[in-house]
Amino acid sequence: MQLIFMGPPGAGKGTQAQLLATLWKIPHISTGDILRACVVAKTTLGQKAQAYMDAGDLVPDQLLMDIVQERMNQPDATAGWILDGFPRTVPQAAFFDTLLCDVGGGKSGKDCDLRAVNLDVPDNILVTRLLSRGRQDDNEQTIRRRLQVYREQTEPLIEFYRDRQQLVAVDGDRSMEEVTAQLQQALSVDS
């Protein structure tokens, strides 16, 4: 199973991805977690990424693509994975399609098992959720900027994957258990 979890910041992508990855015994690959670990470790990549993250902007494509490519080549990713936080733009999705083709022995992304799961949650709920997390980079101004960036740069992915008949839409404005159950049902039918 190859899943991309999409949705605005605070939609519950990370939580749901962790739950399902544990349940299905496949890795949860979170670019946000990888980036935060790089920032804490003060790696070169982390220092570059921190300036973008602090401003509420997306980390540039090339930095993310390098991280994802390295992670996808690790042995535990051969049986399947849940990717959280990548791709975030249509150019990243096109790159990812090429990467899947390389890793998957010549199959393109639209010919493989890939499903893009979109968790949809209203903005007012997202702001409340994000403020309650208490992360240093989660203040209301930064959150609203991140939501604006999401709408401008990431929402086009919904159409990208819908056009390829790979999109699974889920109402993320429910309890964690209800969203998990909805995801399990939708993905067992579609996979």
Q: Alpha-carbon dihedral of residues 65, 115, 137, 35, nearest 10 degrees?
A: -30
Cβ(48)–Cβ(38) below 8 Å:
no
* Residues annotated in a binding site: 10-15, 31, 36, 57-59, 85-88, 92, 133, 135, 146, 174
* Residues annotated in a binding site for AMP: 31, 36, 57-59, 85-88, 92, 135, 146
Nearest to 17 by CA among 34, 7, 29, 9: 29
Give the chain's domain count.
Answer: 1
Prediction pTM value: 0.80
Q: Which residue is associated with the tokens 């199959």?
A: 107
DSSP-derived 3-state class of residue 78: coil
Residue 16 to residue 22: CA distance in whole angstroms: 10
Domain membership of residue 24 as a residue range: 2-188
Residue 29 to residue 18: CA distance in whole angstroms: 9
Where b means 16+ CB within 10 Å and e means fewer, 82-121 reads: bbbbbbbbeebbebbbebbbeebeeeebeebebbbbbbeb
Please list the pLDDT of the chain residue by residue as tens digits (191 residues): 899 999 999 999 999 999 999 999 999 998 888 888 888 989 887 888 888 888 888 788 888 887 777 787 789 988 889 999 889 889 889 988 887 876 555 444 445 679 999 999 999 999 999 999 877 777 899 999 999 999 998 889 999 999 999 999 999 999 999 999 999 999 984 44
Cβ(72)–Cβ(41) below 8 Å:
no
* Residues annotated in a binding site for ATP: 10-15, 133, 174
Is 133 annotated in the active site?
A: yes
Residue count (the chain)? 191
* Catalytic residue, candidates 25, 42, 48, 88: 88
Is 144 annotated in the active site?
A: no
Is 135 annotated in the active site?
A: yes
* Catalytic residue, candidates 13, 71, 115, 129: 13
Peptide bond into 91 cis (omega under 30): no
For the domain that residue 136 is a member of, what is the CATH number? 3.40.50.300
Residue 76 to residue 78: CA distance in whole angstroms: 6
Return the CA Rg of the chain. Answer: 16
